[in-house]
Amino acid sequence: KYYAFSLKGEGVTAAFYALDTHAMVYDENALKKQLEWLDKELSGCKAAWKVVFSHYPVYSYGYHGETGVLVKKLAPLLEKHNVDLYLCGHDHHMQFIHKGKVRYLVCGTGSTIRQPGRGPDVLFNTAQLGFAFFSVTADSFAFQLIATDHTVLFEQKIDKK
Catalytic residues: 64
- CA gap 107, 96 in Å, rounded: 9
Q: Which residues contact 6 (CB under 8 A, 6 or more apart)?
A: 13, 14, 15, 16, 47
Give the number of other CB atoms < 10 A from CB of residue 76. 12
Q: Which residues contact 46 (CB under 8 A, 6 or more apart)?
A: 13
- CA gap 68, 52 in Å, rounded: 17
- CA gap 19, 113 in Å, rounded: 24
Q: Would you give the distance in Å from CA 69 to the centre of its chain?
A: 16
- CA gap 77, 4 in Å, rounded: 16
